[in-house]
Chain A
């Protein structure tokens, strides 16, 4: 079953220099394990292919049912150097939420995941 990240997580992002951070938070605690398994560095890097000049780094916060991604080289130099509308990476969070996951039907049923429309 296809599941949209935007239906199972919320997120906020910010900046440190040329790096955007995206914190992704499971909407239900029981969905965190799925996020931690599916949102690998590889998956997120491939989602943002062509949009980053640097690497993706991932950290886990199981206590907050959240993952934190650092997207290096996301902000055209960042801060005052950047010419981008989103120079401070404020809405990179929503770009990550466009991701769509493929989840096995029985797991999707067990976790009561909302199917993608």
Chain B
């Protein structure tokens, strides 16, 4: 009988459904549970937390997730792969081992820890060695923002995760590994795919891309026939049932809601896509124009035919840096003439800010309910039952933004009529942590793997 390895997706981002990991290990057979916690902005938030407390800097939700699936790990051999380590994978491992001890599962949990993605301590060494780390989008050298850098992490691939699994780990914690490697690494480990078996590695990456956003391929956020998608309250997260030849089936547990169809999987395939013929990862370049999809049964889509080619000699680096301050204020205006009142309020606000000498890099006004998401395509919005005025500002000068947030509430009494929706108080002034994508020579990044129990 053909060996099938089942990788279940249990978390599509930090903040996803807390129920999902437990539902995935209890709803039917799975071999691996994949949990993706890291978005581009997450690393810098975690870095700030670590600066305040050296035991922090990882995705705290992960500890609760492991607690909810501990019986499956300890008694049924389910393995977990997660990039929950953030900027402090060792501290994350400490927390998981402490949890296991507390729950009487010491010895049953072997934590593989992948490190080496964190380039922050090595940044000046890398620059001195000639790695420019220029912005991939603008070409600007890193020197332009060097003194404002908060975090710098290389996106690492599947190899160290495979090493951790081979070393006996049943919970693998990484820092900034790619989302797709969390799915591909278990398949590489189970099927023994070679590091230059491009087609199969690419298949693992495509499986990872389909799973990495949780229910977004199984009926969540699905536009196709959305009214008829059954029982979203009970939505089933996706599972890749993979075979050694690189083909796999996307499925979900019986009795769960949502839908897995060719259209639902296709929507996820095109999500955040660049050039589909060159989906670049640290392990392989996958060609999404070779993917074949077939509905092989209810809520089952077979995926096959995937081709890949040799990876590039670079790793992508995600650098976060301080980039000024921002705030967003909102007020709601009611019919009649809701949009016209909101437009007047915007003019009044801007005139007051201008007279006070407030200057911003950007001041952006949107009329939510009329044109915020579709702009001029949305029609005139003149008869809207209500319109939310939404004004945002951005400035390197925090005082300017602080002055701005005091100018919203007064409009309730000294601006246009029929206004409400201000109960939240003054808008919050937030520091902007911006994102700087760069490339680095693979040979400059050295990952390390330890297995602890």
Contact surface of A with B, Cβ cutoff 8 Å: 10-18, 21, 23, 25, 27, 47, 50-51, 59-66, 68, 70, 76-81, 83-86, 91, 93-95, 98
Contacts and interface: CB of A to CB of B under 8 A. Distances in A.
B289 A62 contact: yes
Nearest to B224: A10
A16 B316 CA distance: 13
A51 B374 CA distance: 9
B128 to A, nearest CB: 27
16 contacts: A10-B224, A15-B272, A21-B271, A21-B273, A23-B270, A60-B289, A61-B276, A68-B274, A76-B364, A79-B435, A80-B432, A81-B394, A83-B328, A84-B364, A85-B390, A95-B374
A104 B420 CA distance: 50
Contacts of A25: 224, 263, 266-267, 270
A64 B368 contact: no
Interface in B283-304: 288-293
B270 A21 contact: yes
B195 interface: no
A81 B364 contact: no
A61 B289 contact: yes
A94 B337 CA distance: 26
Contact of A95 (B326, B375, B393): B375
Contact of A76 (B271, B276, B362, B368): B362
B142 interface: no
A52 to B, nearest CB: 10
A-B pairs, top 10 by smallest CB distance, nearest first, are A23-B270, A83-B392, A14-B272, A83-B364, A12-B267, A10-B224, A85-B372, A95-B374, A14-B271, A10-B223
Interface residues of B, number: 47
A81 B393 contact: no
A11 to B, nearest CB: 7
A12 B271 contact: yes
Contacts of A86: 372-373
Interface string B354-378: 0000000010101010001111110
A83 B393 contact: yes
Contacts of B166: none
Given A61-B276, A64-B266, A50 B375 contact: yes
Given A21-B271, A21-B274, A23-B269, 16 more contacts: A12-B221, A12-B268, A14-B273, A21-B272, A23-B266, A25-B224, A25-B263, A25-B266, A51-B377, A59-B273, A61-B288, A78-B435, A79-B435, A83-B394, A91-B373, A95-B377
